[in-house]
Structure 1
Amino acid sequence: MDADAPVLGADELGAALGERATLVQFSSAFCRPCAATRRILAEVAAMVPGVAAVDVDAESHLGLVRRLEIASTPTVLVLDADGRIRRRAAGMPRKADAIAALGAVLLDGGPS
């Protein structure tokens, strides 16, 4: 686990974090792949108890976007139970890739 990885909280994201993990998507209003990514992440989160999917409007959270160096939308982060960023990917993920990234975080860290 990367102890230096940024930690995000519900206050920064504007939504509750999952008990076990959180899938965070940075999106923008006119991003067509963002809508598909939102559906994929919601489906993946619904498959695993204790996992939440959070959509963050990049334009409304410019300070956070800059701090995390989000360069494009969609960008997906996988947070562990403590809100620590454990995985990151830009672009629309395949559902299988989102499941694999989530599984790796859950198996590696689990709740602390």
Structure 2
Amino acid sequence: MRGDEDGRGAGAAGPDGPRPGVRLGAAELGAEPGERASLVQFSSAFCQPCRATRRILAEVAALVEGVEHIEIDAEARLELVRALGIEKTPTVLVLDAGGRIVRRAAGMPRKADVIAALGAAI
């Protein structure tokens, strides 16, 4: 995926990288993660690129068995946004089956990039 693909985890709002053992599960996501991977999208109400990103991620999740698309309203989940260092919407996190962040990108991704990023998670 294009963007800031640094894989920073929860609580890693700075350039220090992920904290060991950080995982996002159903409690943090507000939904059940995918069996194989999850595409987590942080959106805001008036974000035009968020709508297109929603369509792209939903299409990819429908194509790949065991992958879920989870959209989070950034304004409603400010504590999580701050903990993850989310600075703009859309921001997409690719989580592996264990809930670890394996890819991260800000901005609207291309479908091919999302599919390629899933390779790191599955």
TM-score exceeds 0.5: yes
Q: Which runs of 5+ in 2 are unaligned?
A: 1-17
What is the root-mean-square deviation of aligned Cα atoms in Å?
1.3
Q: Is 1:37 matched up with 2:53?
A: yes
Q: Is 1:86 matched up with 2:102?
A: yes
Q: Cα distance, 1:27 vs. partner? A: 0.3
Percent identity of equivalent pairs: 70
Q: As a proportion of its length, which structure holds more helix?
A: 1
- Compute the TM-score of the two structures, normalised by the length of structure 1: 0.89
Alpha-carbon distance change, 104 to 70 in structure 1, aligned in 2, over 3 angstroms: same
Residues in 2 aligned to 1:104 and 1:86: alpha-carbon distance in whole angstroms: 7
Q: Is 1:7 matched up with 2:23?
A: yes
Residues in 2 aligned to 1:5 and 1:91: alpha-carbon distance in whole angstroms: 26
Contact between 1:5 and 1:85, CA under 8 Å: does it hold in 2? no
Q: Which runs of 5+ in 1 are unaligned?
A: 107-112
Q: Cα distance, 1:105 vs. partner? A: 1.7
Residues in 2 aligned to 1:46 and 1:56: alpha-carbon distance in whole angstroms: 18
Contact between 2:74 and 2:81, CA under 8 Å: does it hold in 1? yes
